[in-house]
Structures are given as C-alpha cells and as structure tokens.
Structure 1
Amino acid sequence: MTQSPNLPKMDRLAAFVEVFKLRVAVLSPGEAGMPALVLAGDGAGGAGRVVFRPGGFARLPPDARVAAAVDFDNEANPLMSAMPEEVAVALDGSPSLQATAAAFMAEASESRCGRSAAINRLGEVLVLMALRGAIDAGTQKPGLFAALAHPALHRAVVSIHDMPQRRWTVDELAERSAMSRSSFMATFRTVVGTTPMAYLSAWRLTLARRHLLAGDPVKLAARRTGFGSAEAFSRAFSKAYGHAPAAVKPLRAAASQGRHAA
C-alpha cells in the first residue's frame, strides 16, 4: 500500500451515519426478524466478542447471549453491501467496547422504561465499533472497504462522501490523497475497482435517490448532489436505475397511497 505522509485520518464513517439511518432492536427467542448482531461468549473478565453479519445469521453461534436485528438502510447503503461476510471484535481488546456490550446486555435482559431506545443507542455504538474494526483490519478485496482502509486513498473517498456537490477533478482528489495524478488513478482503480469519477457519480446517484424519496423535486435533487443539470442527472439516473427520476415516489406519498388503497 502507498503510505500517506503523516496526514491525519478523516472520519470514514461520518457520511454514512448522517445519510443512512441506523436502527438496532433485540430479538427474543422465536421472534420474527433476521439477527445480524450477536454478543457471544461468557463475558467474564471482558471475555467474549461482538459478531456482526450484515447478511444475518442462519444459525446463531452456540455461545450467543444476545441477538439483535440491524437496519442500516441495508439495501440502499453501499457500506453494508461492501462489508465482509462477518466481522468479529473481541471485547477484551477495548474497555469502551466491553462497557458498551455490558450495558447492552443489561438492557436486553431487563424490562425497564426506555428499554428500546437504550438498546438502539447502545446497539448503534456496537455496530459502529464493528465497522471501525472491519475498516482497521482492511481487506484484499477491491471495493469500498479497501478504499476506506487505504492510508492515503481514503482521504479522496471521504472527501467525495462528505462533499458530493463539489465539482471534483481528478487532480484535486489526487492532491487530497497526497499522490501524483497517475499514481492516484492507478491505485484508485486497483483498490476500489472503478475510476474516481465513476465512483463519484455512483455516490451522487445514491444520495439523489434518497433526496427524491424524501420528496425533493428532480431539479433540487440534481443540484444538491452536484449534477451539472437536471438533464444530465436524469440520463445518469435512468441508466443506473432503469427508470427516470421523476418516476420515484416519495416515501410519504407511497405510504399514503397504500393506506387509501387498504
């Protein structure tokens, strides 16, 4: 890997937490729902682990103590589709993780006021720590996690995530990563599996679709995500999703139509 010259790391998860809603709920035995987050092990003296499987567990580990469903806008969130099949983080490697896991298990085992809210907040922290562990561990598979783990390239990727509306050039993104243009282009394609401009366009389309679902007009969604015009946005959106952006119905309108139909 190319090493960046002592540049501070950027927050590689901030954009995903801001854009996609993270929800965690404990599942009781026999309750419907696919468990994705499991606290396993005896927990004594910090022993045990947090295990996160974005695709869910078909069968829980034999030493599972608490199982929870995780909704991180899974289908729309590119972070979830890019994750490894399983991330396991040992509790004894982090006092803060150990304390959070203990509080999570305590809330899960009791029926107290505010239980669901407390579980959701604590579960969010556990998921984020698992994601942090996956990024820190790195991966040899090209894609988003490899880019976020790369010591230099992640600065360009995070810049795209944080400022999609900016008119980025390859030279500017290479400068963010403290790399030459040629080295940046070659490294980006190898690590991410696509070109910087193609990745930028894909991220913009992901955000634009969410704006449309929230009720934004096509022109506003295009402007908020950095497309030069509504026409250019419509062409890119239609190519990516197979239909025009005007065909996207806001979630509130779709829910209202469903109630009337019922």
Structure 2
Amino acid sequence: MIENPALARSHDRLAAFLETFPLTAVPCEKVGQANLLIVGSSTERQPTEILFRPRVVPDLPEAKVMLAGTTVDFGGSINPLVGALPEEITLPLAEEPHLAALAVLVIDETERRRCGSAAIRERLAEVVVVLAIRRAIAAGTVNAGLLMGLAHPKLHSSLVAMHDAPARRWRIEELAAIAGMGRSRFICEFATTVGTTPVSYLNGWRLTLGRVRLRAGKSVKATAASVGFGSAASFSRAYSRHFGHPPSESREAKGG
C-alpha cells in the first residue's frame, strides 16, 4: 500500500517546526558546550543514556562522562516547541536499542575521525533530537501548553492544520471538525489543554512565522500576506503588541 504524502503530512506534528526552524547540529568536545550528550559511566566508558537539554547546557555528575557531544540549535527561544519541551530529556539506552546502536556509531565516528565523520555525526545527532522530541510529545506533560496539545489524541490534528496553513482564514467550526469535536467542546478542551484560545494560538503562530520571515529578509508587506494578515498595518500593530517592538527591528536583527 502506497501512503498518500499529503495524508501523512496532515498527521505530522513536527513537520512545520522542522521546516520553519532548521535543526542544526555541530559536534563539540567540551561538556560545557554540548546540549546533546551521549553519556556513560566514568569507569566503564560504555554509553548508558542520551541527554538532551533544549534550552541550557548541562553539567554532568562526577560519576558520568561525555562520550560524544553536540551543540544543537532548533531556533532557540523563537521556536515555541523548544519553549514547550522539558528542561531535560533523558533517553536510557537500555530501553531504546535502536538509539543504542546510533550512540555506538556516533562514538565510533568521534573516536576514529575518518573522512566525513563530522557530517555523519551531525546527521545522526539530528535524528536523535527528532526521536527525543517524539518521545517528549508522546509522554505529554501535566502542564497546559503546546506539548500537551500535540500529545492530545484529537486536538493535535487542529494544531497541525494551523501550523501547516497559517494564512488560511480558519473558522472555529473547521478546526473543531478537524479535531472531531463540537464547537463548544473544542473551545473548552483547547483552552484547558493548550492554555489559550484557538484564535490566540493561531495569532501567536502567525506572528512567530512572521518574525522568522522578517529575519530572513522578507518585507513587512510580503510577510503580513504570507501569514494571513490583511495588511501590513494590521500585522505591524499585532506584531508590536506581541513582541514589544515593531517588525522593522526584527528585520534589522536578521543577522543576529
């Protein structure tokens, strides 16, 4: 059976984030610089777990040692998914045999330094990060927010729809239908789970995309149209309220 790419995309909770915020991974040798670490005991030097901290660089207990490390950038504070992830994602390799095999390969490429080792380590690190985020989404969270919404068996479909088509003039009834709910239940469930209303969430996502496109050098007018605003003026007002500064400042900061 051949899977319909459009249908597969409609259920992919990470696709829009990976397209909007390119995931980059750079191998590094120092614990204080890596936020994705393959960790082992200081005595046996065998990989026991993978540690990913999306927003901070971790220190390690004395009993553990970094066997391979990577500095991962997934858009930083601009990416709402990064902000929603837990401070630390730990992947015990005893429970994840496929990751254990990846960890061994990364360590081998780190130690032997053959042609193309850096590129292999970068690609493997990207795979590991996506798998770690998948696990975080599957685990959900006890706190309302994006992660809890993406983990929700019904609401995640409406979130994916908004992420994939931000410029569309979404009606609550359409989003509720995508989630398989009635209008009133959808509004209530969305607010309880995500922590905001569907309209507010969509507006925030549009403005976040706008910020990314402004930093890429797009004009305010073109950006406004691409994220669903009727005019540059309405986009600028909403942008200033949301971020505390006008769009022009984001364009000027595109190189920073």
Query: 2:12 & 2:144 partners in 1: Cα distance?
Result: 20
Matches within 5 A, 1:31-110: 34-41=33-40, 48-61=48-61, 62-64=63-65, 65-110=67-112
Letter in structure 2 aligned against 1:52: F
Deviation at 1:91, TM superposition (A): 2.4
Deviation at 1:250, TM superposition (A): 5.2
Q: 2:178 aligns with which of 176, 192, 211?
A: 176
Letter in structure 2 aligned against 1:36: N
Query: 1:98 & 1:216 partners in 2: Cα distance?
Result: 42
Query: 2:205 aligns to what SS in structure 1?
Result: helix
Runs of 4+ in 1 over 4 A off after TM superposition: none
Deviation at 1:76, TM superposition (A): 1.0
Q: CA RMSD in A?
A: 2.3
Deviation at 1:47, TM superposition (A): 6.8
Ranges in structure 2 where 5+ consecutive residues have no aligned partner? 1-6
**TM-score, with structure 2 as normaliser:** 0.87
Does the 8 Å contact 1:214/1:250 carry over to 2?
A: no
Query: 1:93 aligns to what SS in structure 2?
Result: coil
Aligned residues: 244
Does the 8 Å contact 1:39/1:67 carry over to 2?
A: yes
Query: 1:15 & 1:236 partners in 2: Cα distance?
Result: 22
Does the 8 Å contact 1:204/1:226 carry over to 2?
A: yes
Q: 2:242 aligns with which of 240, 243, 251?
A: 240
Letter in structure 2 aligned against 1:139: T
Does the 8 Å contact 2:191/2:197 carry over to 1?
A: yes
Query: 2:77 aligns to what SS in structure 1?
Result: coil
Does the 8 Å contact 1:100/1:125 carry over to 2?
A: no
Ranges in structure 1 where 5+ consecutive residues have no aligned partner? 1-6, 256-262
Query: 2:218 & 2:55 partners in 1: Cα distance?
Result: 31
Q: Equivalent residue for 1:25?
A: 26
Matches within 5 A, 1:1-262: 10-29=11-30, 34-41=33-40, 48-61=48-61, 62-64=63-65, 65-249=67-251, 254=255
Letter in structure 1 aligned against 2:13: R
Does the 8 Å contact 2:176/2:182 carry over to 1?
A: yes
Deviation at 1:198, TM superposition (A): 0.3
Letter in structure 1 aligned against 2:19: E
**TM-score, with structure 1 as normaliser:** 0.85
Deviation at 1:227, TM superposition (A): 1.1
Letter in structure 1 aligned against 2:38: L
Percentage identity across paired residues of the two chains: 43
Query: 2:118 & 2:77 partners in 1: Cα distance?
Result: 24
Q: Equivalent residue for 2:4?
A: none
